[in-house]
């Protein structure tokens, strides 16, 4: 019951006329940095579930502020989301999280926008580390991809040669990195233009 009241209080403060007030606005109840981090990560991923659909988590310590997170559930993200409700989500361009529920209002606060720009640019400048991690993790998985394909046939037919399966797998890894880079470049221009 207490958490429902805290959630309602946070939302009321967010939609109040004085919502940007440092003492009485939403920041009194909501941890702005967790909302920024949640936003930036999910906007980069263009995560279908992130805007308060499924697997959207918040937390609060006793007498603390409402925090977004942990970030979770990325199966319908990074271009792997297909379509829902007549909309397609595999295109790496276009805002998705920014125009949803509480985030519409948060983006009306210039302080929030400035924090988003700063945090996004941190990720943008460090994106090579993301690509390096994809390469190192995919190399581990690649050792087992032939057996996985024999069982499930996800990459090509179940009886495909090892070379064919390895090439198909590498094509998917490269496509993921290309999608992320295209997304980063589009977001870099858009977010810094806010």
Q: Does the pLDDT value for residue 162 go beyond 50?
A: yes
Q: Which helix (H) or strand (E) holds 113?
A: helix 110-125
Per cent of the chain over pLDDT 90 is 73
Distance CA 41, CA 34 (A): 11
Paired with 59 in beta bridges are 67
Distances (CA, A) of 97 to 17, 107, 152, 157: 23, 11, 33, 36
Residue 1 has pLDDT above 50, yes or no: no
pLDDT at 62 over 50: yes
| 1-9: average pLDDT | 69
- What is the token pair recorded at 139? 């190399």
pTM score, whole prediction: 0.90
Q: How many Cβ atoms sit within 10 Å of the Cβ of residue 40?
A: 24
Mean pLDDT of all residues in 40-52: 90
pLDDT tens-digit series, residues 95-131: 989 998 899 999 999 999 999 999 999 999 999 999 9
Torsion sign over Cα 88, 80, 41, 132? negative
Residue 87 has pLDDT above 60, yes or no: no
Contact at 8 Å (CB) between 20 and 112? no
């Amino acid at each position: 019951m207490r958490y429902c009241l805290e959630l309602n209080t946070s939302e009321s403060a967010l939609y109040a006329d004085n919502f940007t007030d440092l003492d009485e606005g939403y920041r009194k109840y909501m941890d702005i940095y967790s909302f920024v981090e949640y936003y930036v990560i999910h906007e980069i991923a263009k995560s279908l579930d992130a805007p308060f659909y499924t697997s959207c988590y918040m937390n609060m310590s006793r007498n603390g502020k409402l925090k977004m997170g942990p970030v979770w559930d990325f199966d319908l993200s990074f271009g792997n989301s297909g379509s829902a409700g007549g909309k397609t989500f595999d295109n790496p361009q276009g805002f998705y999280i920014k125009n949803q529920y509480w985030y519409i209002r948060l983006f009306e606060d210039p302080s929030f926008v400035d924090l988003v720009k700063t945090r996004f640019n941190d990720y943008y400048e460090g994106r090579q580390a993301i690509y390096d991690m994809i390469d190192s993790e995919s190399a581990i998985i690649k050792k087992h991809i032939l057996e996985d394909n024999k069982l499930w046939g996800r990459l090509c037919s179940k009886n495909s040669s090892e070379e064919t399966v390895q090439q198909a797998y590498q094509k998917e890894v490269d496509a993921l990195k290309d999608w992320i880079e295209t997304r980063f470049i589009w977001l870099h221009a858009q977010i810094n233009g806010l």
